Amino acid sequence: MADGQTCELRLSETIMPQSTLESPTRQALIEELQGFAAEMRRNIFRTICLGGGGHLPACFSIVEILTVLYRRILRVNPVDPKNPDRDRFLLSKGHAAVALYTILAEMGFLDAALLETYGHSGTILGGHPDMHKLSGVEASTGALGHGFPFSVGMALAGKMDHKSYRTFVVLGDGECQEGSIWEAAMFAAQQGLDNLTAILDYNKLQALDRLDSIVSLEPLAEKWRSFGWSVCEVDGHDIPSLLNTFGRIPFEPGKPNLVVAHTIKGKGISFMENVPIWHYRLPNPEEMRTACRDLGMDELMTGKRE
Ligand SMILES: Cc1ncc(C[n+]2csc(CCOP(=O)(O)OP(=O)(O)O)c2C)c(N)n1
Ligand SMILES: [Mg+2]
């Protein structure tokens, strides 16, 4: 199986042993991934601003998570996107679709020129990702609370079929206020799905408010543990910590894995960080200048909005 071979190659190349943590190679890798993440933020910003709308801060809180997963962890191959042995990735918080589009384009699943069509009539890049139109999208998500149960089903199917693929899913913290998340969490533990890893984007904001002024999730890690999951907490923007954490999966044999990623919504643009009003809003021309400076990019000409 030609593409299976590619998958195997990626696996052995991608999961770094802990012992290499401080080696120059390791340092070079971290810098490369940090550079990749910075470029990804610029691509997201460009795509959303030129497209005329999108969930910028929701995308920015998962940039490093997607970078580490796609560049080092996932056994996926754009040349053979439906390989039955591929790892699965689902973006349960589907409103961060543009983050997924930019990384799928960077990885070769999508033509990079497609990003320029975002927000324009006839585009296949919707506000939420469509699995029927886009290579590399495993599930159409956006209705919160659905992608995660879907990922549990995929992980269960992998166990039933004696497959070695793993399933990864990113969920929002506000999304965890949905009952379907907890039903699926209970079921995953009951089934012993240690081939499933949920990454919880714990940015403490939900749409236009603070999570704990709507429905608090605390004590979050304890809750998931009590549901039978093995839990690890990490700084969701710290690439070395993310590499280490994902490299330790499965955390405990027989239990599904939860990575609580402490993140900052809007990370990378000073005036957006942790400020709820930016959930779905674009900068005015003056804010745009600050944002471009923060992201290290040339000013954008967004004729559409100014
Ligand atoms: C079932 C459902 N209800 C409401 C929404 C509207 N909505 C879109 S994003 C969002 C906030 C989700 O919060 P969180 O999961 O914390 O994501 P973040 O805003 O941090 O990216 C909501 C309520 C939705 N997409 N789906
Ligand atoms: Mg949130």
Per-residue model confidence as pLDDT tens digits over 250-290: 999 999 999 999 999 999 999 999 999 999 999 999 999 99
Has residue 12 got a pLDDT over 50? no
CA distance 176 to 260: 12
Bridge partners (DSSP) listed for residue 90: 169
Q: Is residue 77 part of a domain?
A: yes
Q: What is the mean pLDDT of residues 235-246?
A: 98
Has residue 20 got a pLDDT over 50? no
Q: What's the pLDDT band for 170 if we cut at 50, 70, 90?
A: very high
Q: Is residue 3 part of a domain?
A: no
pTM over cut 0.75: yes
- Report pLDDT for 224: 98
Q: What is the mean pLDDT of residues 244-254?
A: 97
Ligand closest to Cα of 181 equals 1
Q: Is residue 8 part of a domain?
A: no
Q: Which of 131, 134, 123, 141 is nearest to 52 (CA)?
A: 123
Q: Count the domains in the chain.
A: 1
The pair of three-digit structure tokens given for residue 159, joined into one six-digit string: 């166990």
Q: What's the pLDDT band for 139 if we cut at 50, 70, 90?
A: very high
Q: What is the mean pLDDT of residues 208-215?
A: 96
Alpha carbon dihedral 62, 65, 69, 72, in 10-degree steps, equals 130
- Report pLDDT for 140: 98
Look at 112 and 6; give whichever has higher pLDDT. Answer: 112
CA distance 84 to 203: 33
Q: HSE, CB side, 13 Å, CA atoms: give it for residue 61.
A: 34
Has residue 114 got a pLDDT over 50? yes
Length of the chain: 306
Identify residues whose C-beta is under 5 A from ligand 2, the ion. Answer: 172-174, 203, 205
Has residue 18 got a pLDDT over 60? no
Ligand 1 proximity of 142 Cβ (cutoff 6 Å): yes
Q: Greatest CA separation found in the chain?
A: 56
Q: Which residues of 13-22 are buried (b: 16+ CB within 10 A; e: fewer)?
A: ebebeeeeee
Q: Which domain CATH number covers 152? A: 3.40.50.970
Minimal-distance CA residue to ligand 1 atom 17: 172
Q: What is the mean pLDDT of residues 19-38?
A: 82
242 within 8 A of 170, measured Cβ to Cβ:
no
Q: Is residue 304 part of a domain?
A: no
Pairing of strands 209-210, 205-206: antiparallel
Q: What is the mean pLDDT of residues 129-154?
A: 98
Give the domain extent around 73.
Answer: 24-295
- Report pLDDT for 301: 73
Mean pLDDT of the chain: 92
- Report pLDDT for 306: 38
- Report pLDDT for 23: 59
CA distance 297 to 294: 8
Q: Is residue 305 part of a domain?
A: no
CA distance 274 to 26: 31
237 within 8 A of 210, measured Cβ to Cβ:
no
**Residues of the chain above pLDDT 70, percent:** 91
Ligand closest to Cα of 170 equals 1
Q: Is residue 5 part of a domain?
A: no
Ligand 1 proximity of 204 Cβ (cutoff 6 Å): no
Q: Which of 197, 245, 205, 264 is nearest to 224 (CA)?
A: 197
Q: What's the pLDDT band for 300 if we cut at 50, 70, 90?
A: confident
Q: How many angstroms is it from 177 CA to the middle of ligand 1?
A: 10
pLDDT digits (tens, 9 = 90+) for 62-103: 999 999 999 999 999 999 999 999 999 999 999 999 999 999
Q: Is residue 287 part of a domain?
A: yes
Q: Is residue 243 part of a domain?
A: yes
